[in-house]
């Protein structure tokens, strides 16, 4: 699928001796086009990290509870703003409880500019908090 | 702009992640019923072993009982139920606030916003917690929601930041929360203890700080006699737990944490104490038709066309909020709502009983009236129940038989067996009802057994009506017990009070294949009694079978299909694969007569879409599984099925919970003091007969 962009965010982690709470910020860069709607999948090792919250804007992104059972989270959000933010945008912050070393992978399942035009933003992850 | 909106909506529908869019998705075993006769010839029943009966007699001096009954017999008997007395608003006034001691507590304010569309309510409850103390706290608050609420969304707000909570298995969520609390993170945990009792915990609230928690749920509205009813419960009533039972809901004085020995506990403010927590409520009605009348029998409201708000002078959360509205012309816009997503189609269909049911002659009834005389019914609740029962007795037909059972922690009866409804016997029944006083705890299981275990007289149809506030902690077990002992009887529950345990009353009616009616303490009792009697008086459309035709339907809930009673439609939920127009054919039996109905539906009608339907369908299915889970030998299978459904549909249940952690805010030191939010006893309920019994 052409619209499907796969980005692997490989984040080196220090070994965690005890459970720690961290945040993974998901940025989307739509190359100047406003990001009106998007759906992203974030994967991690469910035995090493559990998602404990999703943040982002006035209305935090929604998630698919069924997908969550498999140790991944599918997030989606949209805005009806006529000029949604463009450039590198923090679309979601995922709070996690890490109990071990894990990598995070993210893929864009779909994204659209105002008017419904499909776009292919690039994604990068920034992990904050913890040790 | 419109194009953009449509495009965004279509895209999200494709993605399948918008809210409401579905994913790809002990009883004590009494060995015998013992009977004894009291001084008025009334029978007393006990399911306890002989030793317990003897102890009970010692504990209850006969002379006192005799004197009490004599006093009652001096009272005017067979009083005509007059209009409800006019009372000063009981919800608390400014004067009350001045006189009472305001206790500083974490819950500051609750804000409720409800959107009522067709027959579906979407409700968002925001609880504002703050820390009025000098050191860090954890706030814990047990609160009610409707017993059929499908809690689908949970957001924790810290300042301007909003964190959506994650649905997890209950124990897993709890462990995450405890670890976050230990490490000093701001975190919150929402658990469900009963279908209508939830507990919110918020950890690491620093002095002077505020944390909001937002809960969103969906449910279907009651609709009968052309009137919709929306109910928002505000306080959990104090429950009584049978001796030795530990899985109940305890009622303890503020600060007496753990003293009930029950798994769930609610703390109550003492008389003269008041919380500063208030409530604001705004209801928007989107009925699709002109609203002829909007009323609230419980609160002072302001109505601005389709928007209803609580009056600023009536914001003490100590009783259920009840809102009723009637549409002009008495007809609802549509009976069918649908929703489609990646996992398929969902529908909710309101089925109205055929009008001709009212013309079908009824068979002779055996009416068993059960009245709660426990301590929580002391005062006005018992008065209201007695008036309702009096009205019911007067409406008995000569070919009916009847019995009156009173219960608290003991059961007694008007007669040794149901008697013919002769004028003499009705008079005897009225005298018996007039003599009733409150005394003891709410041990309902005994009376359920007595009421259901009488041999049914041939040719009669047994109807058992429970008049109670439902304040017993073993409510799940009572429901399970009733289901197992139902036989051919039907149960009609009659809730009495301002904050009744609606879960128990609705579940009894559901497993008893009957209906529920509620009366608040300021309402005209006659309305509720007549409503109850109307259900009973005409045969129901029973043995309902539905040919869904081209709708191509599966997994219809509730199961078994409920009977249809005069004036009371039912809402069925299910999944469908069909498209376009379809004919639905219903058949059943009213008395001995076969009855058939048909209705046309249009599955593609765009105005009848509602994104909450997957949640409502899953929640309805969970309710049915929950009814069967307790007391069943294969209860683990039911619980596992509930857990699976709840996780897949992102719903609260007794085996799932919402947790939210802010990984970026970490407070110093230990998590501080746990402060349990005490609540007022519901209006009309006495503290000294329920919480601290004197």
Domains and CATH numbers, chain A: 5-129 (2.60.40.680)
B18: pLDDT confidence band, cut at 50, 70 and 90? Answer: very low
Within a domain: B2: no
Whether B499 and B564 share a structural domain: no
B23: pLDDT confidence band, cut at 50, 70 and 90? Answer: very low
A64 with B183: Cβ contact below 8 A:
no
Whether B45 and B170 share a structural domain: no
Q: Which residues of A touch B214 (CB under 8 A)?
A: none
B483 close to B457: Cβ distance less than 8 angstroms: no
Within a domain: B140: yes
Residue A34 contacts B, CB cutoff 8 Å: no
Whether B66 and B120 share a structural domain: no
Whether B545 and B529 share a structural domain: no
Whether B532 and B603 share a structural domain: no
Listed residues B490, B517, B537: the one ending a domain: B537
Q: Which residues of A touch B183 (CB under 8 A)?
A: 19-21
Listed residues B537, B561, B579: the one ending a domain: B537
pLDDT confidence of residue B332? 59
Domain that holds residue B379: 34-74+363-537
Closest chain A residue to B664 measured between Cα atoms?
A: A129
Say if residue B333's pLDDT is above 90: no
Secondary structure in 3-state letters for B180-242: HHHCCEEEEEEEEEECCEEEEEEEEECCCCEEEEEEEEEEECEEECCEEEEEECCCCCCCECC
* Rounded mean pLDDT, A42-68: 91
pLDDT confidence of residue B382? 96
Nearest CB to A110: which of B11, B180, B664? Answer: B11
Whether B181 and B310 share a structural domain: yes
* Rounded mean pLDDT, B168-187: 97
CB pairs under 8 A between A and B: 145
Cα B558 to its chain centre, rounded Å, is 16
Listed residues B509, B537, B565: the one ending a domain: B537
Say if residue B630's pLDDT is above 60: yes
Whether B296 and B404 share a structural domain: no
Say if residue B361's pLDDT is above 80: no
Whether B137 and B230 share a structural domain: yes
Element at A110 (helix H, strand E):
strand A104-112
A80 with B14: Cβ contact below 8 A:
no
Range scoring the smallest mean pLDDT among A70-79, B54-63, B450-459, B636-645: B54-63
**B611 to each of B339, B395, B586, B614, how far by Cα in Å?**
6, 45, 26, 7
B339 close to B295: Cβ distance less than 8 angstroms: no
Within a domain: B422: yes
Q: Say how many domains are in chain B.
A: 3
A23 with B16: Cβ contact below 8 A:
no
Residue B157 contacts A, CB cutoff 8 Å: no
pLDDT (tens digit, 9 = 90+) per residue, B644-667?
999 999 999 999 999 999 999 899
Give percent of chain B with pLDDT exceeding 70.
85
CATH number for the domain spanning B602: value is 2.60.40
Residue A80 contacts B, CB cutoff 8 Å: yes
CATH number for the domain spanning B476: value is 3.40.50.410
Whether B499 and B382 share a structural domain: yes
A52 with B172: Cβ contact below 8 A:
no
B635: pLDDT confidence band, cut at 50, 70 and 90? Answer: confident
Whether B501 and B599 share a structural domain: no
Whether B413 and B430 share a structural domain: yes
Largest distance between two CA atoms of chain A:
48
Whether B346 and B370 share a structural domain: no
Range scoring the smallest mean pLDDT among A56-60, B326-330, B375-379, B479-483: B326-330
Q: Which of residues 637-676 of B touch A (CB under 8 A)?
A: 647-650, 659-664, 666
**A65 to each of A103, B496, B581, B642, B650, how far by Cα in Å?**
21, 39, 32, 15, 5
Whole-angstrom distance, CA of residue B580 vs CA of residue B394: 51
Within a domain: B567: yes
């Amino acid at each position: 699928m052409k619209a499907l962009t796969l980005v692997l965010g490989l984040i080196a982690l220090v070994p965690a001796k005890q459970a720690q709470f961290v945040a993974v910020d998901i940025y989307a860069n739509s190359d100047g086009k406003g990001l009106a709607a998007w759906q992203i999948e974030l994967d991690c090792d469910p035995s090493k990290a559990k998602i404990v919250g999703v943040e982002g804007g006035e209305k935090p992104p929604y998630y698919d509870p069924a997908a969550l059972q498999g140790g991944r989270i599918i997030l989606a959000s949209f805005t009806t703003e006529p000029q949604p933010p463009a450039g590198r945008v923090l679309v979601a912050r995922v709070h996690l409880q890490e109990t071990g070393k894990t990598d995070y992978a993210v893929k864009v399942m779909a994204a659209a500019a105002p008017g419904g035009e499909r776009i292919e933003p690039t994604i990068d992850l920034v992990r904050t908090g913890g040790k | 702009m419109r194009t953009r909106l449509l495009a965004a909506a279509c895209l999200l529908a494709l993605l399948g992640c918008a809210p409401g869019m579905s994913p790809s998705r002990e009883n004590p075993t009494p060995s015998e019923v013992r009977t004894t006769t009291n001084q008025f010839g009334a029978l007393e029943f006990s399911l306890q072993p002989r030793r317990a009966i003897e102890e009970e007699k010692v504990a209850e001096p006969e002379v006192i009982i005799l004197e009490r009954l004599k006093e009652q017999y001096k009272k005017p008997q067979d009083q005509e139920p007059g209009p409800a007395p006019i009372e000063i608003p009981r919800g608390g006034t400014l004067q009350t606030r001045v006189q009472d001691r305001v206790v500083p507590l974490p819950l500051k304010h609750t804000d409720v916003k409800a959107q009522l569309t067709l027959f579906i309510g979407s409700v968002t409850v925001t609880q504002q917690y703050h820390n009025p103390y000098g050191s860090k706290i954890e706030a814990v608050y047990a609160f009610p929601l409707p017993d059929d609420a499908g809690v689908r969304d949970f957001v924790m707000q810290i300042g301007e930041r909003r964190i959506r909570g994650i649905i997890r298995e209950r124990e897993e969520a709890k462990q995450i929360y405890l670890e976050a609390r230990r490490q000093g993170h701001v975190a919150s945990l929402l658990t469900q203890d009963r279908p209508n009792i939830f507990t919110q915990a918020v950890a690491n609230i620093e002095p002077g700080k505020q944390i909001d928690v937002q809960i969103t749920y969906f449910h279907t509205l009651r609709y009968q006699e052309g009137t919709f009813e929306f109910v928002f419960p505000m306080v959990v009533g104090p429950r009584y737990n049978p001796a030795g039972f530990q899985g109940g809901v305890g009622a303890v004085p503020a600060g007496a944490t753990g003293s009930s020995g029950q798994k769930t506990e609610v703390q109550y403010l003492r008389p003269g104490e008041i919380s500063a927590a208030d409530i604001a409520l705004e209801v928007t009605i989107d009925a699709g038709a002109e609203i002829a009348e909007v009323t609230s029998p419980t609160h002072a409201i302001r109505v601005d066309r389709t928007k209803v708000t609580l009056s600023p002078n009536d914001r003490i959360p100590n009783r259920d909020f009840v809102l009723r509205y009637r549409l002009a012309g008495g007809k609802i816009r549509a009976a069918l709502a649908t929703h489609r997503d990646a996992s398929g189609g969902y529908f909710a269909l309101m089925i109205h009983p055929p009008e001709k049911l009212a013309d079908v002659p009824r068979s002779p009834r055996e009416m068993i009236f059960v009245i709660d005389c426990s301590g929580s019914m002391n005062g006005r609740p018992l008065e209201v129940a007695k008036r309702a029962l009096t009205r019911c007795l007067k409406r008995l037909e000569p070919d009916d038989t009847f019995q009156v059972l009173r219960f608290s922690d003991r059961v007694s009866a008007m007669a040794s067996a149901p008697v013919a409804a002769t004028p003499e016997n009705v008079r005897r029944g009225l005298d018996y009802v007039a003599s009733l006083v409150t005394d003891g705890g709410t041990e309902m299981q005994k009376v359920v057994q007595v009421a259901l275990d009488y041999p049914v007289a041939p040719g009669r149809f047994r109807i058992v009506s429970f008049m109670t506030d439902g304040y017993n902690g073993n409510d799940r077990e009572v429901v399970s017990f009733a289901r197992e002992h139902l036989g051919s009887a039907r149960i009609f529950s009659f809730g009495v009070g301002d904050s009744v345990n609606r879960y128990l009353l609705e579940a009894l009616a559901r497993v008893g294949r009957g209906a529920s009616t509620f009366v608040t303490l300021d309402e005209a009792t006659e309305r509720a009694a007549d409503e109850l009697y109307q259900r009973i008086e005409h045969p129901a459309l029973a043995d309902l079978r539905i040919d869904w035709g081209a709708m191509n339907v599966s997994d219809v809930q509730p199961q078994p299909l409920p009977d249809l009673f005069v004036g009371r439609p039912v809402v069925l939920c299910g999944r469908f694969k069909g498209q376009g127009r379809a004919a639905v054919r219903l058949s059943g039996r009213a008395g001995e007569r076969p009855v058939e109905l048909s209705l046309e539906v249009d599955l593609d009608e765009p105005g009848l879409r509602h994104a909450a339907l997957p949640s409502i369908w899953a929640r309805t299915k969970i309710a049915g599984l929950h009814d069967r889970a307790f007391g069943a030998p294969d209860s683990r299978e039911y619980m596992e099925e509930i857990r699976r459904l709840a996780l897949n549909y992102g719903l609260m249940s007794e085996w799932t919970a919402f947790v939210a952690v802010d990984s970026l805010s970490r407070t110093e030191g230990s998590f501080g003091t746990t402060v349990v939010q005490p609540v007022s006893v519901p209006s009309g309920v006495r503290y000294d007969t329920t919480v601290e019994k004197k």
